[in-house]
């Protein structure tokens, strides 16, 4: 009888660990692997980032926007967002303009970032699918803020020097966008 109780206890403990892991990944932090070079040189193909899902707010698992917001993105943050194309992988981009910022003049019209939206671009400007193509992104569609490279694997194997490296925003003078509204 004690062996049965021991196995039941092990099963309950294992189930508890699974629930805890799911909760952490759903609400606190999530890994994200960089699949393309759109964020070079800051973030490299094969970097595995850790994103803080609590940086700006909270969302329920399997929902498409946040339910509670307590923070706002800052210019220079690297964020992971839900891909505007349903079914496509999430994207990592840099926040380059905040709500109210003037971004560009197109056909004689000034584009201003709408309230509760951010304008995102890849650091590798010439090779990035970003807000220039899909527009400003609602803040509620941001999954979280990237805060470190957990580990990195390149074509030649592990890049040990990139492990546990914090992600810092680069200098902003060459962004080509207005810094303030």
Whether 84 is covered by a domain: the verdict is yes
Q: Which burial class, exposed, middle or buried, applies to 58 when counting CB atoms under 10 A from its CB (0-12, 13-18, 19+)?
A: middle
Whether 172 is covered by a domain: the verdict is no
Any idea what the Cα angle at residue 87 is, between residues 147 and 140, rounded to 5°?
Answer: 45
pLDDT digits (tens, 9 = 90+) for 134-178: 999 999 889 999 999 999 999 999 999 999 999 876 655 544 554
Whether 179 is covered by a domain: the verdict is no
The conformation of residue 167, written as its DSSP 8-state character, comes to: P
The conformation of residue 85, written as its DSSP 8-state character, comes to: S
Structural domain tally of the chain? 1
- What is the per-residue pLDDT for 119? 95
Beta bridge partners of 145: 52, 79
CB of 39 within 8 A of CB of 78? yes
- What is the per-residue pLDDT for 181? 42
Q: Which of 115, 83, 81, 110 is nearest to 98 (CA)?
A: 115
CB of 11 within 8 A of CB of 19? no
Whether 7 is covered by a domain: the verdict is no
- What is the per-residue pLDDT for 3? 82
168 as an active site residue: the answer is no
85 as an active site residue: the answer is no
List the catalytic residue out of 53, 93, 141, 145: 93
Kindly give the parts of the chain with pLDDT less than 70.
1, 105, 169-181
- CATH code of the domain containing 140: 2.10.109.10
Whether 6 is covered by a domain: the verdict is no
Q: Which of 144, 171, 128, 165 is nearest to 79 (CA)?
A: 144
Domain of 162, in residue numbers: 29-166
């Amino acid at each position: 009888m004690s062996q049965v109780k021991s196995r039941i206890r092990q099963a309950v403990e294992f189930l508890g660990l699974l629930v805890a892991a799911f909760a952490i990944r759903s609400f606190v932090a999530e890994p994200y692997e960089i699949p393309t070079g759109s964020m070079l040189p800051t973030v490299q193909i094969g970097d595995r980032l850790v994103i803080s899902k609590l940086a700006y707010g909270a969302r329920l698992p399997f929902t498409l926007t946040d339910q509670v917001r307590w923070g706002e993105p800052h210019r220079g943050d690297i964020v992971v967002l839900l891909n505007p194309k349903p079914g496509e992988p999430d994207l990592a981009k840099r926040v380059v303009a905040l709500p109210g910022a003037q971004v560009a003049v197109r056909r004689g019209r000034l584009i201003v970032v709408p309230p509760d939206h951010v304008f995102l671009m890849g650091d590798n400007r010439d090779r990035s699918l970003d807000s220039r193509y899909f527009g400003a992104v609602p803040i509620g569609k941001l999954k979280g803020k990237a805060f470190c490279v957990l580990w990195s694997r390149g074509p030649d194997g592990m890049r040990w020097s990139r492990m546990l490296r914090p992600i810092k925003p680069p200098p902003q003078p060459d962004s080509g966008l207005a810094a303030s509204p």
